[in-house]
Amino acid sequence: MTAPLWPALLTTDQQGLDELCAVSAKGVRIRFADGRELLCGTSGLWNTNLGYGNPAIAAAVSEALAEASYLNVFRYENDYARRAAAALVELCGADHYARAVFSTSGGAANDLAMKLARHYHALSGNDRRKLVVGLNGGYHGMTFGAFALTGEDFGQRLYGVDQRLVRHVTPNDTGELTRLLERQGAQVAAVVVEPVLGSGAVPLTGEYVAELLRLRREHGFLLVADEVATGFGRTGSFFASQGWPEPPDLLLASKGLTNGVSAAAVVMASRQVAAAFTEAGAVLAHAETQAGTPLTCAAILATIGEMRRLDAVALGRRVSDRLDEELAALRHPMVAGTSGVGCFRAIKLRTPDGAELPQAEVPAVVAAVRRAGAIVHPGVNGVQLVPALTYTDADLSELFGCLRAGLSAYSGREVPA
């Protein structure tokens, strides 16, 4: 009999299994309906950067529910949203950013960013700028706009996703982007990039970022940093783009924005972008029922507070250093290489004959590691490790012990730790 719940991206034979049904979570561990408690090596869906069950965030959300229940930012404002927006402008840098537009997910925020970019250019007198450029292998979500921008094949043709106004180029290939802009630069509204591509944990090189910034000056497109995954301490600073020589025009945050407790996202607009709307008295045609609610904004404010109280960015850098050590010591016949930065890493795997592990085999490897005691994320021809910034040395040792045991169980080889 088919179970009532239709979960995301699970094959039908995996649906309804108690070993995949979580019942509670605390710290960096998740308990499942089959009675097992597993170490979480994925920070939920890369969003519980401070671990599960943070008391301060829970208390703030509870108070907001009791005091304000539901208030919105649809033709109204609310005090929680005002305070959260001001805190985010200050956090991102008030010298560059001016306004925060709330959304409910990374995908919806990418839709919003594309609308913002096109509307901005229309206000600037060029409504021909409609093209949006993304990166091959990039992931921006599965709402229809973000799905068009996502540079992986998730069945866009099957679902009739309209990609006519989207172009994709190879990450870290400056020549390909330059050639595209030479042909169509006057039509490009925005270039949207993840500072670290989510699917393969591939960082953009300094050379590529520098060229992006130069091309922005030359062609006049908006540069959008999709920091849904990299924001809130994931890669060694509060936002990865803070290490760029110049900031983006739009910055997107979600996931760690509320430590995973609320469906929330935000698009931070630069002073230049915000001024174009203010000077024209223009109304941006975007609204979401659950965007900017008291619950969401209380969680944002509390998460920012906890990030500062715990000095979580510094904690994350320490975890990153230990990850470097553990990855360097990970000698297993299946390991072909690693990539990523901070607390955002990928491990490429191979078959006994040295070929890339087929993508169809990745779920079996993830399952083997889970049986060994830890949750890892499926990646491109391998797995991803996305630990919480609050991981201890013991947690990391346990994670890599489970990883080694899972790889050995999958490959049928006993490999010393």
Residue 1: predicted pLDDT = 64
Residue 406 has pLDDT above 80, yes or no: yes
Which is higher by pLDDT, 317 or 411?
317
Sign of CA dihedral 224, 229, 232, 235: negative
Q: Does domain 55-310 have CATH number 1.20.120.430?
A: no
pLDDT band, residue 199 (cuts 50/70/90): confident
Residue 102: predicted pLDDT = 98
Backbone dihedral region of 340: left (phi > 0), alpha (psi from -120 to 50 degrees) or beta?
left
Residue 2: predicted pLDDT = 79
**Superfamily for 12-53+311-411?**
Aspartate Aminotransferase, domain 1 (3.90.1150.10)
State the alpha helices, DSSP H only, in 49-142.
55-67, 79-92, 106-123
**Mean pLDDT for all residues in the chain:** 96
Residue 198: predicted pLDDT = 84
User: Where are the domains positioned within the chain?
Assistant: 12-53+311-411, 55-310
Residue 417 has pLDDT above 70, yes or no: no
C-alpha 6: how far from its chain's center? 23
Residue 413: predicted pLDDT = 57
Percent of the chain with pLDDT over 90: 95
As a whole number of angstroms, the distance between CA 5 and CA 356 comes to 34
As a whole number of angstroms, the distance between CA 64 and CA 119 comes to 34
Pick from 98-107, 131-140, 146-155, 260-269: least confident: 146-155
41-57 residue pLDDT tens: 999 999 999 999 999 99
Mean pLDDT for 161-166 is 94
Residue 77: predicted pLDDT = 98
4-48 residue pLDDT tens: 999 999 999 999 999 999 999 999 999 999 999 999 999 999 999
